[in-house]
Structure 1
Amino acid sequence: MFRTGFLVRATHTLLTWVITLTLFLHNTDLRRCEEEGELLLPILFFVVVVLSVLLYFAVSLMDPGFVLSDTLKGSSEEMESMIPEAAPPRLRRCGYCLLQQQPMRAKHCQTCKRCVRRFDHHCPWIENCVGERNHRWFIVYLLVQLLALLWALHIALSGVSPSASWETWFRSNGFLLAALGLVGVFSVVVVLLLGCHLYLVSINCTTWEFMSRHRISYLKNCGDEENPFDRGVLCNLLDFFCICRTVVWEKMYQRSSQSSV
């Protein structure tokens, strides 16, 4: 129960509700709206915070796209349907979990000890891999989290009150300043993370492929600007957010190789 994942999720939840409680208890816009009987703003902010927490746990606990060994050791007919007959990619065997064939764009995660389809990265903040099944939800979570953080930043700034001396000012605004600092740091991190992921999604590339291109068998022979999975920004975004089934990347890779020839 007290493994790393539990501690990380408990820390995230605790920080979220401590900061939210601080914003509600101090003399911020939320507090002033409550005193004036205008509850729409506090309720909306509370809903956004709850939604961000629910998305966090959904992304953290869901299957990121683990490759099941029994599906890869099935009938030869199933293999033939997944892999094109003409010029098939070289079969890859995972040296860790001993899968007979590792699907294209999959990678073994040393932390999760499983192979993950369309592996992007292992996120220590959610203590889970980001892969084919939860990558879109990870980006949705980042969007909602960014909305909550920027809103919290505005609310925290509205509660900082002036004082006669620096000592009195720090004493009266101490908790609010601490919350402001945490929210500011998290906002910068989420903005950078969201920007990087949206860019990679728009070119149909994963973090792992972007960082380790020279070591990946199906990419190291491609040009520096060549991506066999790129179908254009609009198609990449539509496929990423709308297609919820398992994609056979071997077929897309073959079509790209034939068209380039």
Structure 2
Amino acid sequence: MASEIEVVEEVESRDHRSESYSNGGEGAATTSAVEDESLRNDVYTAAAYGDMEKLQRLVESEGCSVSEPDGLGYYALQWAALNNRTAAAQYIIEHGGDISARDHTGQTALHWSAVRGAIQVAELLLQEGARVNAADFNGYQTTHVAAQYGQTAYLCHVVTKWNADPDVPDNDGRSPLHWAAYKGYADCIRLLLYLNAYRARQDKEGCTPLHWAAIRGNLEACTVLVQAGKKEDLMVTDNTGLTPAQLASDKNHRQVAFFLGNARKLFEKRWDSNSFLGKLSKLGLAPILWCIIFLMLVAYIHSVVTASNLPRLTAGFGLFAWMGVFLATVGLILFYRCSSKDPGFIRMNMHNQENMKDDEPFLKVEINNPALLDGNWSQLCATCKIVRPLRAKHCSTCDRCVEQFDHHCPWVSNCIGKKNKWDFFLFLVLEVLAMLITGAVALTRVLTDPMAPSTFGAWLSHAGNQHVGAVSFIITDFFLLSGVGVLTCVQVSQIARNITTNEMANIMRYSYLRGPNGRFRNPYDHGCKKNCSDFLINGYNEDVEYTEESTEPEGIGMMQMTRNNNAELPNGHQTNGHDNNHHHVIDVNNNKNSSNSHQGGGHVHSSHCSHSHSQSNSNSNVPLGLGVGLGRNVSRPAVVS
């Protein structure tokens, strides 16, 4: 199961052809003749490069046809669609180009527009009557092609505006979600899950999308699928009887296999939410912590403040001792508020998808949401069906998205977020102060006992026998103070920098925490003074990015920008192109071994795929899909816009 794109460049001169797409001499001669025939008719090259002057001259002056295929069987409209040449595509349609024309693989221009996410051309084709559900000989619709190449914006457009089916299976029973999981495009997976794509769909080999993600070792894809799924998704077996975790282990993807195995164990440890134990488990550790604080207060009052075997407290020292009790009591009130308060849950989208009309393509997705327009597809929550704010996160324990998510605290049995972090922080501060005061009072009372002997050994024996409660309180207070004190210091540091615990733990994952040079940069840090004042006064910090005042003189300048839409990311992912009006530099590599798979660099599909081969042979045995070429494969960069 594969679908690889090979971008090649048009040959500038026919006199410099030294390669062929065939291994045999006779085949080379035949292919060369086909190339000569296709290159003599420059209407295809003009369409591909958007050369309107040349295209108009060829059609209007020289009488070239735009409705005939080239020597490789591809149409001028397909080349224009591939490179998002809207003007050229419009001109071709006006001069007789067939929108529904199919090449030898059964693909239309709309299929080709999906390869590089040419949204403008796709919009033109669909407005002119192209069928959004047109399938090629392998059953691939435009949604399959977009998922194969990670074109999330394109996929969102054709689904939300033109009601394309995001869950249609191809001839092998594979949906776009299967392809996105196999290729490791996490953003596409998020969008498809958001659009209610069926996670548990099994293809002809019995594989679900999670199986294919595990086969390729795509950890991020597996993570997205597991977080949006259930325990049953991890237990489904394919036709060979293997689960996703077993397939990952079989392919030697140890990290993925460990993640899937651990996820299954966590699912199995969870109680049924409707059972008594399940409801009891939702209480978490909050009742235990409340009891610990309460018992310590009782022990402090009985064994330290009002102890009969210790001298009576003076008025000043007694006020100081009772101040610790007061602070701890106020802390308990804040603890209850923090535990029971809404941490900033974002309202879920509860639309019933079954009752939605077909002509209401997803109220479904907020097309004009700024986050989606900027390409931040990670803000889609497939569970809550919302586009969450940038700093929000879905809590797997609460099963809700939380605004300004900090962490899920088991000790308060609640998430810490935008609306209850102030209560949580004050609870920590008050309890730390209470433990410092009560610990100091207890230690002072024991050390100043007039009945204690003068020698150290005898004093220890006396304290252990006469002041058991006070000594026990001091030891417990010390251990609790060390842990809570560290947590409080961490929170103080994060509040001063306006950053959350979740962001600190995922600095390398969140792109908004990286500056232009790739180094860490917190865009929400407005300085320690403003961060602290806003938090203490308002109870939270607004998600307003800090912008430095520019010292550059105002004026009109020019900047050369290069954007690589196919930049490799860790774990085999690629970035998605969201704006096809800019020029993109694509590296073109000379791959002589691709001649057997790409017939002239055209679109080649195959539905034969198997995961039964060993990992070392998987790349050579799987066929290539959608290989796109323009003339010849040469080893220099091509500028494609």
Quickly name the TM-score band, shorter chain normalised: 0.7 to 0.9
Deviation (angstroms), 1:184: 0.6
Q: Is the 8 A contact 2:384 2:400 kept in 1?
A: no
2:533 is matched with which residue? 238
* From 166, 169, 189, the counterpart of 2:483: 189
Q: State the SS of the aligned residue for 1:122.
A: strand
Give the structure with the higher percent helix: 1
Alignment of 1:1-261 (within 5 A): 3-4=280-281, 6=283, 8-26=285-303, 28-29=304-305, 31=307, 35=312, 38=315, 40-41=319-320, 43-70=322-349, 83=370, 88=374, 90-91=376-377, 92-95=379-382, 97-160=383-446, 162=452, 164=458, 169-220=463-514, 223-244=518-539, 247=542, 249=543, 252-253=544-545, 256=547
Partners of 1:133 and 1:246 in 2: CA distance: 10
What is the RMSD of the two structures over their aligned residues, measured on CA atoms?
A: 3.7
Deviation (angstroms), 1:185: 1.0
Q: Is the 8 A contact 2:463 2:471 kept in 1?
A: no
Partners of 2:321 and 2:529 in 1: CA distance: 37
Q: Deviations over 1:108-151 (max 9, x none)?
A: 11111111000111111111111111112211111111111111
TM-score by length of 2: 0.35
Q: State the SS of the aligned residue for 1:22.
A: helix
Letter of the structure 1 residue corresponding to residue 533 of structure 2: L
Q: How many residues align?
A: 252
Deviation (angstroms), 1:59: 0.8
Moved more, 38-47 or 221-230: 38-47
Q: Is the 8 A contact 2:392 2:402 kept in 1?
A: yes
Name structure 1 gaps, 5 residues minimum.
none
Moved more, 202-211 or 235-244: 235-244
CA separation of 1:89 and 1:140: change in aligned 2, threshold 3 A = farther
Deviation (angstroms), 1:245: 7.6
CA separation of 1:36 and 1:244: change in aligned 2, threshold 3 A = closer
Partners of 1:99 and 1:115 in 2: CA distance: 10
Letter of the structure 1 residue corresponding to residue 395 of structure 2: C
Q: State the SS of the aligned residue for 1:215.
A: coil
Deviation (angstroms), 1:103: 1.0
Partners of 1:172 and 1:192 in 2: CA distance: 33
CA separation of 1:258 and 1:107: change in aligned 2, threshold 3 A = farther
Deviation (angstroms), 1:225: 3.8
Q: Deviations over 1:37-95 (max 9, x none)?
A: 846445433322210110111111111101112499xx99x996x8489x745242113
Partners of 1:43 and 1:22 in 2: CA distance: 13
Q: Is the 8 A contact 1:119 1:129 kept in 2?
A: yes
Q: Deviations over 1:238-261 (max 9, x none)?
A: 2222235894x3xx34x7499799
CA separation of 1:215 and 1:7: change in aligned 2, threshold 3 A = closer
Partners of 1:7 and 1:166 in 2: CA distance: 39
Between the two structures, name the one with larger relative contact order (CA 8 Å, sep ≥ 6). 1
Partners of 1:229 and 1:61 in 2: CA distance: 28
CA separation of 1:41 and 1:232: change in aligned 2, threshold 3 A = closer
Q: State the SS of the aligned residue for 1:205.
A: coil
Deviation (angstroms), 1:159: 3.6
Letter of the structure 1 residue corresponding to residue 290 of structure 2: T
Deviating 4+ runs (over 6 angstroms): 257-261
Deviation (angstroms), 1:182: 1.3
Moved more, 199-208 or 211-220: 211-220
Letter of the structure 1 residue corresponding to residue 399 of structure 2: K
TM-score by length of 1: 0.80
CA separation of 1:31 and 1:71: change in aligned 2, threshold 3 A = farther
Partners of 2:464 and 2:380 in 1: CA distance: 60
Partners of 1:165 and 1:201 in 2: CA distance: 45
Moved more, 130-139 or 210-219: 210-219
Q: State the SS of the aligned residue for 2:524.
A: coil
Q: Is the 8 A contact 2:321 2:441 kept in 1?
A: no
Deviation (angstroms), 1:3: 1.8
Q: State the SS of the aligned residue for 1:231.
A: coil
Q: State the SS of the aligned residue for 2:285.
A: helix
